[in-house]
Amino acid sequence: MKLLMSPPSPYARMIRILIRELDLMDTVEEGQITTTAFNSAPEIIAANPLGKIPALVRDDGPTLYDSRVIAQFLNAHAGSGLYPESRKWEVMTLEATAIGIMDSAVSMSYETRLRPESQQSPDWIEAQWEKAARGVKAVNDVWMSHLTGPINIGHIAMGSALAYLDLRHDARGWREGNDALAAWHDEFAQRPSMTETVPA
C-alpha cells in the first residue's frame, strides 16, 4: 500500500503517526507529493477525486481517502485497538474534535498563505481561530481523562492537531489557560512516532 501525503498536512501526519504506532512501516509506503488547495497535484486527483490528502492506494481495492476512513482501515488491517469498544464513542468524539481543530487551523492557513492579502478576510480568520480555541479549551476542561491510558486514535489525532497549531499558528498561544493539555502534548510529542514525522 502507498500513502499519498504531504508532511505539513495535519491529516496526513495523523496517519503517519498511526502507521508508526501500529508498526506498519514495512506495509505502507509513504509517497510525498506537492499539492495545494488551488492547484491539486495530478497524482492526488487520480487517487482522490476531491484532490485532498492523505489517500491510501491499495493493491487489492479502490483507493481510500479521508484520514478517519484510512485510520479505521489500518487499525482493522493491523488488528489493533485504537478504537477501544469500552469507550469507542468518546474516543471517536475526541478524534472528531481534533479533526475540527485541524479544519479550522488549515482554513486559517489557506486564507493567509494562499490568498492575496487584499482578498483575505480577517473576520473569517478570527472566526476559525475561535472554533479551534474552543475545541482546545473543551479538551483541556472536559476530555483530559480520555487522553490517559493505552494509546488510541484520540491521542493520535489530538497530537497531530496541536502540533499543527504549533507549526502554523504558534503566535496564537493555544497553551495559555490550557495547562493540562499543554503538559500532555509536551510529553506526547516525545514519542518516536511524533519525532519521526515532524515536517522538515
pLDDT at 113: 87
Q: How far, in Å, CA of 28 to CA of 174, rounded?
A: 33
The whole-chain average pLDDT of the chain stands at: 96
- The answer on pLDDT for 94 being more than 90 is yes
Residue 138 host element (H or E): helix 122-138
DSSP string, the chain: -EEEE-TT-HHHHHHHHHHHHTT-TTT-EEEE----SSS--HHHHHH-TT--S-EEE-SSSPPEESHHHHHHHHHHHHT--SS-GGGHHHHHHHHHHHHHHHHHHHHHHHHHHTS-GGG--HHHHHHHHHHHHHHHHHIIIIIGGGGSSS--HHHHHHHHHHHHHHHHHGGG-TTTT-HHHHHHHHHHTTSHHHHTT---
Contact 3, 69 (CB under 8 A): no
Q: What is the mean pLDDT of residues 109-120?
A: 90
pLDDT at 39: 85
pLDDT at 200: 82
pLDDT at 140: 98
Same fold for the domain at 2-78 and the one at 85-192? Answer: no
Centre a 10 Å sphere on the Cβ of residue 31 and count the other Cβ atoms it contains.
Answer: 16
- The answer on pLDDT for 199 being more than 90 is yes
- The answer on pLDDT for 175 being more than 90 is yes
Percent of the chain with pLDDT over 90: 92
Q: What is the mean pLDDT of residues 174-195?
A: 98
- Per-domain boundaries in the chain: 2-78, 85-192
pLDDT at 71: 98
For the stretch 46-91, pLDDT in tens is: 989 999 999 999 999 999 999 999 999 999 999 999 999 999 999 9
At the top level of CATH, which class does the domain 85-192 belong to?
Answer: mainly alpha
pLDDT at 38: 84
Q: How far, in Å, CA of 91 to CA of 88, rounded?
A: 5
Which pLDDT band, with edges at 50, 70 and 90, does 36 fall under? confident
Which pLDDT band, with edges at 50, 70 and 90, does 160 fall under? very high
pLDDT at 37: 83
**CATH of 2-78 given 3.40.390.30, 3.40.30.10, 2.60.40.1930, 3.30.70.100:** 3.40.30.10
